Amino acid sequence: MSERLRSLGLVPFFIQQLADTSVFEERLGRVMSVQRSRTTVACESGERVVELSSALRLSAPIDRPVVGDWIVLDESLSRIERVLDRKSLFKRLGAGSNHEIQPIAANIDTLFIVTSCNEEFKESRLERYLALCAEAGATPVIVLTKADLVDDPGIFVDRARSVQAGVPVETANALDPTTLDGVRAWIDSTSTVALVGSSGVGKSTLLNTLAGHSLAATSGIREQDKKGRHTTTHRELHILPSGGLLIDVPGMRELRVAELDQSIAAVFGDIQLLAAQCRFADCRHETEPGCAVMRAIQENEIDARRLANYRKLMRENALATATLAEKRSQGREFSKMVKEGKRIKQKKAET
Ligand SMILES: Nc1nc2c(ncn2[C@@H]2O[C@H](COP(=O)(O)OP(=O)(O)OP(=O)(O)O)[C@@H](O)[C@H]2O)c(=O)[nH]1
Ligand SMILES: [Mg+2]
Ligand SMILES: [Zn+2]
């Protein structure tokens, strides 16, 4: 395997998908960014802007190349012919009225869920990110930035630790490289880390400080509400000079969930465990007698916010999953109708 492709994160999982690697090496590439119709890939011979094959252009968003993907180019090295199977995929339900699963970043090993030691910090948002991370198949790390701006970052560390047992929490002043040893421990020369979190939490700042020079633009947050200015506008994969791959993801306003029942449950293991002790198997943990979850809330073992968010995510997920299923079946019905129409037309032409 070439050194350059290895430093881009190429591992046997992808090579195994190619019948003859010696032919393919110069045609293999990794998607560094996708900006509208402009797709940039890095390959053995350097970076190039490429097109998509017509089949890929017409495919569903989830099947099109996304940042982090490993792809195979055509012989002229100007068009993506194939997207290799992904090791992991961070995705969400498209924002607004676009009811479609939108891929965010592919083939990530670790997800840095970045949040700040200020009003931006919300347990419910972390729970949402963690559920999406579990579904993606990546290892989550909560990174608490702006630890330099509070007297006691320990309060935020405790709050972050309470969100899901076992998830590592690292604190940082994203502007100061001497505070980043904890964060650095999660980065190695061949793995890929994606940075996600609200606008203004310091994702690009962290990237720049880890790199030792400016790779991405950053800008101040609004003082009155600590909100960011959506400085980063597209997702981009960066290679650190010391090795390691970081995907900087713009702050997302909406992070809707769909099709991830089990992954939500994984984040709320404590509630699941209690629910197993409820008297009724279909207990909704509202007013039912013998409800172990409500009892735990009364006894302050879990907080009401956490249960409310669990319910909210499960409800949102069920609704979105049903809508998606309906949309897909309508799509299938429609293509059946088109096929049937064609068949009748052909029959008529024959007679
Ligand atoms: N004091 C302090 N300031 C920080 C820290 N991290 C980020 N900042 C500042 O916060 C502001 C926003 O940082 P960015 O890196 O642009 O935030 P971002 O997460 O990339 O935001 P988007 O690109 O909009 O998603 C900048 O002014 C940074 O200097 C930190 O740990 N400590
Ligand atoms: Mg940014
Ligand atoms: Zn119950």
Q: Which ligand number lies closest to the CA of residue 279?
A: 3
Residue 93 token pair: 């339900």
d(CA 351, CA 344): 11
Span 154-177, mean pLDDT? 97
3-state SS of the chain: helix, strand, coil percent to 5?
40, 20, 40
Pocket test for ligand 1, best of 201, 214, 230, 234 (most atoms within 8 A of CB): 201
The domains found in the chain, sorted by start residue, are: 3-83 (2.40.50.140), 89-248 (3.40.50.300), 264-331 (1.10.40.50)
User: What separation in Å is there between the alpha carbon of 307 and the centre of ligand 2?
Assistant: 32
Q: Read out DSSP for 20-75?
A: -HHHHGGGEEEEEEEETTEEEEEETTEEEEEEE-HHHHHS-GGGS--TT-EEEE-T
Is the pLDDT at 240 greater than 90, yes or no? yes
E strand segments, 184-341:
192-196, 236-239, 245-248
Is the pLDDT at 25 greater than 90, yes or no? no
pTM value is 0.92
Dump pLDDT digits (tens) for 299-316: 999 989 999 999 999 999
Is the pLDDT at 41 greater than 80, yes or no? yes
Q: Tell me whether strands 245-248 and 192-196 are parallel, antiparallel or unpaired.
A: parallel
What pLDDT does 225 receive?
Answer: 77
Is the pLDDT at 21 greater than 90, yes or no? no
Q: Which protein residue has the closest C-alpha to ligand 1 atom 16?
A: 218
From the CB of 39, is ligand 1 less than 6 Å away? no
Residue whose entry in the numeric block shows the structure tokens 């409820």: 278
What pLDDT does 205 receive?
Answer: 97
Q: Are 143 and 112 in contact (CB under 8 A)?
A: yes
What pLDDT does 22 receive?
Answer: 67
Alpha-carbon radius of gyration of the chain? 23
Q: What are the distances in angstroms from CA 321 to CA 93, 190, 288?
A: 10, 35, 27
172 CA: nearest ligand 1 atom:
31
Confidence bin at 346 (pLDDT 50/70/90):
confident
Span 63-75, mean pLDDT? 96
What pLDDT does 94 receive?
Answer: 86
Is the pLDDT at 73 greater than 90, yes or no? yes
Alpha-carbon torsion, ordered 303, 124, 196, 210, to 10 deg: -40
From the CB of 199, is ligand 1 less than 6 Å away? yes
From the CB of 196, is ligand 1 less than 6 Å away? no
Span 10-39, mean pLDDT? 88
